[in-house]
Structure 1
Amino acid sequence: MHKDTSPQRGKSTRRGLFTGLASAAAIVAAAGGLVAAASLAPQPAGSRALPAALAVVPAGSSVGVCPGPARLLEGTEAGTDPQFSPESATARSAVSGAVISAPGGVMPASRLSALGGATAVEIATGGPQASGTAGPQELKAGVIEQQAVDAASVLSADAREGQQASAAALMKYSATDGDLQGSAAANCQQPSNDVWLAGASTTLGRTSVLTLSNASTTPATVSLELYGSKGQIQAPGSRGLLVAPGSTRSIVLAGLAPGEAQLSVHVRSAGGPVAAAIQQSVLRGLTPGGVDFISPGAAPAARQVMTGIDIQDGASIASLTGQKGYADAGPALQLTVPGQSDAVVEIKLFGRDGQKALPNGGVVTAKAGSVTEVSLVGVPAGHYTVAASSDVSFVAAARVTRGLKEDGPSDVAWAPAGVRLGSQHVVPVPQGGDRILVFGALEDRASISYSAITADGKIQAASTADIAGGTTTSIDVPEKVGESVVVGYVVSASGDAAYGALLLQQDGRDDISSIALMPAASGQEQVPVKLGY
């Protein structure tokens, strides 16, 4: 075959190669230009990244569900559903509360009702919007003074001008005879879909009855998570508990977790929110050991604070708790760690004169998934604030006891972890016995303003307590201001973190209750709303 090697042929080949390369370069350049142009061109509306809009959620009504009276178990059906015996002849249960007006004295529509809806007390019917008067405008209050109740009840107050009403109530039970003699008090709580209760016990002589109240119009399906000293408890029958609208369901915890000296309960509800409380009572042989309503405390967090901790003489308590069956007759702190990591918890105890040393040191390891108890026996007598902190979230509550005689009746109360005080907390104060406001400040100084609410609906001039950091202050509540009975307080705080509680005691008796102050009312909230598909 003849091969063409002429110079003309070589030139043609090289020319074709250069032409092809130039064409390819032009195509690439054109493509790059198109890409650049596309990146600079306005994007279609559907592909833009837009920030989430904030939607205003109107403030809802203030709702507080009060537990019913304490009742003695008579028997059970199917292990957990209780039957109750009649109350003792001296048992009394009453609700006390207050609703604060808007500036200018206009009261929100408010009432105390049975859980099923029937009105027991009409506090206020509401009124026209307040006129825009310049300058400070006086507040007034609608009060509930010792309203007798025989079942769960509901305090409700309508929102006004985008602001949730400032309102609160508590139920107090007392009896001077029978197995449930003593005093028990609990805040009327806002229903929730997720709450924690710490301090129950199901050992011999201890009775714990969980009550679930549904004040909504939607059925609630409740599941319980149970934590004991040896870990989480898998209990058949603890899931899918139906609570119908306008009803209360009671569950004997010994049917789910028998023989537990320390028991915490995590209540989760799907559908309607519920109010949860545990009626806890102690009977040592034939000797009553107290009754209490265990209320929900703060959600799991890295720091928990409890105040209103009343401690009696350390030597006398140590002698009593050393007796058989009296190990839980002294003050203690319980820590529940719901996660999978142990919590190293630092505990600080603040009294009137500053921080006090704990008998066994101030650092403990709380096991994951279980309840750990820390004794406070040996601490000098007085009122205290307990602050516990860790790098792992946990739940906490403190046991408060009263009574030093082995053969005499005593009482018990649980102080749940509380919220930091802000502005305009309403604190109902029931009648009778000693009523003591207890405030604790942590690291630095705090200022507490407290104004008495009297039965005539007036909010009296404010007093101020200046609290040094790391101390606890107690303020006795007078029976009257002027000629009118004190039925509550409006409390506000400024400065460093401060916490508050109401201690209730009885002259000549070893009754005690410790009630953490409820959160203040909230206004409108803004929540991010993302649109997509």
Structure 2
Amino acid sequence: MHKDGNDDGAPQAGQDDATAAEHGSDPAAAGSAPGAHGSGRLKGLAARGWTAGGGSGRGTVAGIASAVVIVATAGSMIAAASMGPRDTGGRPLEAPLTAVPAGSSVGICPGPARLLEGTPVGTDPQFSPESATAKTLVNAAVLSTNAGMLPGSRLAEINGNPLAEIAKDPGSSAPTAAAAPPALLAGVVSERAVDAVSVLSADAVGNQQATAGAVTSYTATDGDLQGAAAAGCQEPSNDLWLVGANTSLGRTAVLHLSNASSTPATVSLDLYGAKGQIQAPGSRGLLVAPGTTRSIVLAGIAPDQASLSIRARSAGGPVTAIVQQSVLRGLTPGGVDFIVPGAAPATRQVMSGVDIQDPASAKALTAKPGYADAAAALQIAVPGPADAVVEIKLYGRDGQKALPGGGVVTAKGGSVTELSLAGVPAGQYTVAASSDVSFTAAARVTRGLTSNSATDFAWSPSSARLGSQHVVTVPRAGDRYLVLGVPEGRAKITYTPITADGKVRAAATADIAGGTTALIKVPSEADDAAVLGYIVSASGDAAYGTVLLEEDGRADIAAVAVAPGAAGQEQVAVKLGY
């Protein structure tokens, strides 16, 4: 981490450390691009049509009489309509909206990073044992309801085998409200070792969806997969977008599709490279059975792609998608990362937590053979046929920074374009990109400046605007930073520590000016208890957040974008008919 005067977590100019009155009491509207991720909650809704049956011959007279009345009534209505003002065009009638019952909160957490064993046949991988020092840990938190009750919640393997019970089901008689606001509590999972994909689930209480969050962290100090990788546990969806995969020489990308539902999922992949969309045999109709994870070696369907973007669409059960990306330059480990879905295509994308190293040293490193991707860059994927003229702005801790080359790039339709961030001064940034054509994006950050030792990298995906009560969990080890970016206007961020003993501590606030990025170092303890994460809420203008993870004295780096908060009660359009 590039440290300066504010690295100790003290507020910088424009920040207010006063204690917030109540976390989540002043939420901002948490907007996101249409189609981004989806809610992924396991909900069901059936809307049935209704019909009218006819009578028998014995009711003929009554039927004729009824018909006369209907015809007379219809004639009166037509006559009345003819005397009123007439519309020049038709007026569509909207379908009625029906409230959807709150469903369980589900987050699927990736398993350990594993090295491929030899050359895979086709796209189905075989993995070798991980290194002796590899550790994969899950940290999770579930918040209590407005009545002070912890929802029934648990961590389990994707096949249903239990790993840890967080809280028992309070039952149908549990109160949904309290006369006085109770103290907020958290049910936690701290440093739970896992060796496979796991699932955090929390039940709805009183038609109120649970607020929860979890993160999986991987670290290794030996072997080909040295480095750090981390990913927030995802809510399943039927439409996911990933940017940053690489299948060129020395790079390995394995796509993991997980289905925690009880319904089979059939997944189809749309692949985009630097030269356009890739028509790949074997990318359609991928069956993912309930309670399983399917892994696909991307080099088997899209070989030699230095910039690969993936759209995963699921029919049937919703899924999660994650790419385990690793680099090996000869015998030197080049890092490992979990690439997770970002925001769906939109005309504006924002990525925070972009950590840039010393530009002179980075230039010297990338000039060496095989190190062209060992530097910060922005990748833009345009799924449609039209080219996108994208304007990129970079906001640092003291304001906007100029991009070498002017910050405007033309990204070809149906392909992936990479923009180097070389020459940008060292520091932490928020990247905002906008165009009149929809696109997706992600930013690559790197660490390590010498070719004779291991380096690492991480991808920061585009994320949704911060809203109210995001549960942001962090690993217990290493240097942890909450990076907050506000492209325009001004925003106030409330961040409330959650400690490993399940207590929610006193809140703090950061008042962040537009066009800047704020860096908050996560302390190891709060009130003599280990800090497991934060409850983050935002008000004011749009703000974005990412957790940046590093290890002092090592090249390890990982980035975890703040996931969307729990949605309120949703409504869907229901059409009635035969």
Q: Above 0.5 in TM-score? A: yes
**Pair 1:183 & 2:207 matched:** no
Q: Which amino acid aligns with 1:404?
A: L
Aligned partner of 2:371 in structure 1 is 326
- SS state of the match for residue 530, structure 2? strand
1:310 aligned residue (355, 360, 367): 355
Larger Rg: 1
Letter in 1 for 2:484: F
CA shift for structure 1 position 49: 8.2
Q: 1:55 to 1:224 in 2, by over 3 A?
A: same
Matched, 1:263 2:308: yes
Q: Equivalents in 2 of 1:520, 1:101: separation in Å?
A: 15
Aligned partner of 1:222: which letter?
V
Residues 46-82 of structure 1 show CA distances to partners (whole Å, capped at 9, x for unaligned) of xx98652221101211000011100000135532111
Equivalent residue number for residue 18 of structure 1: none
Q: Is the 8 A contact 2:176 2:205 kept in 1?
A: no
Counterparts of 1:35 and 1:140, CA distance in 2: 62
CA distance in 1, matches of 2:283, 2:497: 44
Task: Give the AA of the match of 2:539.
Answer: S
Q: Is the 8 A contact 1:435 1:502 kept in 2?
A: yes
Give unpaired runs (5+ residues) of structure 1: 1-33
1:298 to 307, 320, 343: 343
Q: Which is worse superposed, 51-60 or 217-226?
A: 51-60
Q: How has the CA–CA distance of structure 1 residues 78 and 54 changed in structure 2, closer, same or farther, with 3 Å as cutoff? A: same
1:116/1:247 contact within 8 Å kept: yes
How many Å separate the matches in 1 of 2:285 and 2:573? 32
Give, in angstroms, the shift of residue 38 of structure 1.
Answer: 5.7
Which residue number in structure 1 is paired with residue 493 of structure 2? 448
- The residue that corresponds to 1:6 in the other structure is none
Looking at structure 1, the residues matched to 335 and 120 of structure 2 have their Cα atoms a distance apart, in angstroms, of 25
CA contact (8 A) 1:75 1:82 kept: no
What is the alpha-carbon distance in structure 2 between the residues aligned to residue 113 and residue 488 of structure 1?
21
Q: Secondary structure at the match of 2:350?
A: strand
Change (3 A) 1:77 1:310: closer
> Could you tell me whether the CA contact under 8 Å between 1:103 and 1:130 is conserved in 2?
no
Q: Match of 1:266, SS?
A: strand
> What's the secondary structure of 2:369's corresponding residue?
coil
Partner of 1:532: 577
Does the Cα contact within 8 Å between 2:146 and 2:176 map onto a contact in 1?
no
Counterpart of 1:60 in 2: which secondary structure? coil
Query: What are the residue-to-residue correspondences of 1:87-236 with 2, within 5 Å?
Result: 87-127=130-170, 128-130=173-175, 132-236=177-281
The answer (yes or no) to whether the contact 1:106–1:126 under 8 Å persists in 2 is no
> C-alpha distance in 2, partners of 1:151/1:109?
23
Structure-1 residue corresponding to 2:79: 40
For the residue of structure 1 that corresponds to 2:365, the secondary structure is helix
Residue 319 of structure 2 is aligned with which of 274, 280, 294? 274
Change (3 A) 1:104 1:39: closer
Q: Pick from 53, 59, 63 the counterpart of residue 96 of structure 2.
A: 53
Pairs within 5 Å for 1:387-426: 387-426=432-471
Give, in angstroms, the shift of residue 40 of structure 1: 2.6
For 1:422 and 1:131, locate their aligned partners in 2 and report how far apart those are by CA, in whole Å: 23
Distance 1:479 1:237 in 2: 47
CA contact (8 A) 2:387 2:410 kept: yes
Question: Aligned pair count?
Answer: 497
2:115 pairs with 1:72:
yes
Q: Residues of 2 paired with 1:55 and 1:497: CA distance?
A: 30
Q: 1:335 aligns with which of 363, 368, 380?
A: 380
Checking the alignment, whether the CA contact within 8 Å between 2:487 and 2:516 is kept in structure 1 is yes
**Equivalent in 551, 556, 566 of residue 521 of structure 1:** 566
Give the letter aligned to residue 132 of structure 2.
A
Q: Secondary structure at the match of 1:81?
A: coil
In 2, the alpha carbon distance for the partners of 1:457 and 1:278 equals 32
Shift of the 38–196 alpha-carbon distance from structure 1 to 2, 3 Å rule, reads: closer
SS at 1:83 equivalent = coil
Change (3 A) 1:234 1:140: same
Q: What are the superposed Cα offsets for residues 284-315 of structure 1, whole Å, 9 maximum, x if unpaired?
A: 11100000000000000000000011111111
Partners of 1:35 and 1:162 in 2: how far apart? 44
Residues in 2 aligned to 1:489 and 1:36: alpha-carbon distance in whole angstroms? 66
How do 1:337-486 and structure 2 match up within 5 A? 337-486=382-531
Q: CA RMSD in A?
A: 1.8
1:235 Cα deviation (Å)?
0.6
Which residue of the partner structure matches residue 82 of structure 1? 125
TM superposition shift of 1:35:
11
Change (3 A) 1:281 1:40: same
Matched residue type, 2:572: V
Q: Secondary structure at the match of 2:129?
A: coil
Contact 1:425–1:520 (CA<8 Å) still a contact in 2?
Answer: yes
- The answer to whether the 8 A contact 2:486-2:543 is kept is yes
**Secondary structure in 2 matching 1:106:** coil
Gaps (5+ residues) in structure 2?
1-72, 83-90
Q: Is the 8 A contact 2:146 2:177 kept in 1?
A: no
Separation in 1 of the partners of 2:386 and 2:237? 27
Q: Secondary structure at the match of 1:317?
A: helix
What displacement does 1:507 show?
1.6
Name the structure, 1 or 2, with higher relative contact order (CA <8 Å, separation 6+). Answer: 2
Matched residue, 2:555: 510
Letter in 1 for 2:328: L
User: In the aligned structure 2, how far is the partner of 1:464 from the partner of 1:38?
Assistant: 62
When normalised by structure 2's length, the TM-score is 0.84
Equivalent in the alignment of 1:10: none
Deviations 1:311-354 (A, max 9, x none): 11111111111111111000000000000100000000000000
- Over 3 Å counting, the alpha-carbon distance change for 1:39 and 1:91 in structure 2 is same
- What's the secondary structure of 2:363's corresponding residue? helix
CA distance in structure 2 between the aligned counterparts of 1:526 and 1:237, rounded to whole angstroms = 37
**TM-score (norm. length: structure 1):** 0.91
- Work out whether residues 55 and 526 of structure 1, in 8 Å CA contact, stay in contact via their aligned partners in 2: yes
Which amino acid letter does the alignment assign opposite residue 431 of structure 1? R
State the Cα distance separating 1:36 from its structure 2 match.
8.0
Judge which range, 34-43 or 165-174, deviates more: 34-43
Letter in 2 for 1:78: V
Deviates more, 1:365-374 or 1:155-164: 155-164
Aligned mates of 1:289, 1:50 — CA distance in 2: 58
Once the two structures are overlaid, the 10-residue window that deviates more, 417-426 or 49-58, is 49-58
Q: Distance in 1 between the 2:291 and 2:249 partners?
A: 33
What's the CA shift for 1:501?
A: 0.5
Q: Do 1:162 and 1:523's aligned partners in 2 also have CA atoms closer than 8 Å?
A: no
DSSP 3-state at the match of 2:438: strand
Q: In structure 2, what is the Cα distance between the partners aligned to 1:529 and 1:257?
A: 41
Match of 2:334 in 1: 289
Q: Helix, strand or coil for the counterpart of 1:40?
A: helix
**What is the rounded CA distance, in whole Å, between the counterparts of 2:224 and 2:298 in structure 1?**
19
What secondary structure sits across from 1:345 in the alignment? strand
- Give distance in 2, aligned partners of 1:318 and 1:96: 37
